[in-house]
Amino acid sequence: MKYLFLAIMTLQSFIMVAQDNAFYPGKIVPDDRGIHINAHGGGLLYHDGTYYWFGEHKGAHSSAAFVGVTSYSSSDLYHWKYEGVALSVESDPQSDITQGCILERPKVIYNEKTGKFVLYFHLELKGQGYKAARVGVAVSDKVTGPYTFLKSYRPNAGIWPINMTKGQRLDKTKASDFEHRGNKDWRKAVVDGLFTRRDFSGGQMSRDMTLFVDDDGKAYHIYSSEDNLTLQLAELSDDYLSYTGKYVRIAPGGRNEAPALFKRKGTYFMITSGCTGWKPNTARLFTAHSIWGPWTKHPNPCVGIDARLTFHSQSTFVQPVIGKKDAFIFMADRWTPENPIDARYIWLPIRFENGLPILEWFDKWDLSIFEKD
């Protein structure tokens, strides 16, 4: 009897959340089947009146990819329909995306010129930990897929970032010149491109990532590079399937992960995290008037209780609310590495104060918050 009562209560709480037009950060987010959404480290794409949510499928015991990238659709951001696996990992052990690889932070953008949907993700080859540090690219004619895997590699091999000086490019200092990582001289060398040079011929490391499409249709890939010490921002080709070769280093030596980029009134904003594995840390905020920089660092955008730990989460994406002025949703993951599938989604409204984003905690909120002063 007691168990029946508990089962009914649990079912009821699922239904209540599913039917409610509200966000409950940190709570279960049931899809149309009543199952907690399994799309971690993800991002949204708004296309033809519908939002699509793409993310990492995670299991109960491992964060490695045994399914692939999942997708969900919604017309209101509250109710989500499961659309299936957009990109499947492959059974061929020779494939870069073989089952058991690490496939993280997938993001999808739509290319107006080709009419194709392009999916980028962070890929680590199976059995190699986080050593490969590659970007993976897949493409589809249909938003929910199936996506065809095209390639994985390290970007910008043989090309210098446009904001690296001639002196930095010619510098002969090598990582092996330092007995210890982390001292003052080493930090200066990192800022001066120690690892950009190391990876010059093989391509730049590409781990945590996002994509951003600007108003003029140009798209950019922003990724943690150089041993996670420095972010890089690289322009994509017109079809979004490769790079133009124009890229910059951002916040050299700043150890930023989890970049989420958005634009408001001509200013570019980027929220990132520090590098503490699955554990939360303090969010960082950068702004720029040109996407190429300079990027200025600001104080932690989070305020209130647990602001120092980004409300126990790590950024993944910022989604503009279509049809509402100045309305942006900050999306983050509250990781649970002991049971990865149970990781929670922290979606919070962004408020602007003196032109800068402010994030504060809400147990429950809805889109009407953007109509308030």
Kindly report the number of other CB atoms within 10 A of residue 240's CB atom.
26
Cβ 113 vs Cβ 173: under 8 Å: no
In the complex, least distance from residue 331 CB atom to ligand DGJ, rounded to whole angstroms: 13
In the complex, least distance from residue 155 CB atom to ligand DGJ, rounded to whole angstroms: 18
Cβ 334 vs Cβ 340: under 8 Å: no
CA–CA separation, 237 vs 218, rounded Å?
8
What is the binding site for ligand DGJ (CB under 6 A)? 41, 104-105, 208, 257-258, 277-278, 314
In the complex, least distance from residue 80 CB atom to ligand DGJ, rounded to whole angstroms: 21
Of the two residues 40 and 197, which places its CB atom closer to ligand DGJ in the complex?
A: 40
Contacts (Cβ under 8 Å, ≥6 apart) of 4: none
- Quote the tokens at residue 13: 């709480």
First-to-final CA distance of the chain: 49
Contacts (Cβ under 8 Å, ≥6 apart) of 302: 282, 283, 308, 310, 311, 359, 360
CA–CA separation, 87 vs 79, rounded Å?
22
In the complex, least distance from residue 335 CB atom to ligand DGJ, rounded to whole angstroms: 7
In the complex, least distance from residue 76 CB atom to ligand DGJ, rounded to whole angstroms: 28
Give 295's DSSP letter. Answer: P
R_g of the chain computed on alpha carbons: 20
Of the two residues 30 and 280, which places its CB atom closer to ligand DGJ in the complex?
A: 280
In the complex, least distance from residue 208 CB atom to ligand DGJ, rounded to whole angstroms: 5
| Exposed e or buried b per residue across 87-124, where buried means at least 16 C-beta atoms within 10 angstroms of its C-beta | bbbeeeeeebbbbebbbbbbbbbbbeeeebbbbbbbbb
CA–CA separation, 205 vs 234, rounded Å?
12
* Preceding peptide of 106 cis, ω within 30°: no
In the complex, least distance from residue 278 CB atom to ligand DGJ, rounded to whole angstroms: 5
* Beta strands in the chain, from DSSP E residues, in sequence order: 40-47, 50-56, 68-74, 81-88, 102-111, 116-124, 134-140, 148-153, 209-213, 219-225, 230-236, 243-250, 257-264, 267-273, 284-288, 296-298, 314-320, 328-334, 344-353, 356-359
Which residue, judged by CB position, is nearest to ligand DGJ in the bound state? 277
In the complex, least distance from residue 348 CB atom to ligand DGJ, rounded to whole angstroms: 18
Of the two residues 64 and 190, which places its CB atom closer to ligand DGJ in the complex?
A: 64
In the complex, least distance from residue 287 CB atom to ligand DGJ, rounded to whole angstroms: 22
Question: Is residue 146 helix, strand or coil?
Answer: coil
In the complex, least distance from residue 248 CB atom to ligand DGJ, rounded to whole angstroms: 21
- Quote the tokens at residue 141: 């004619």
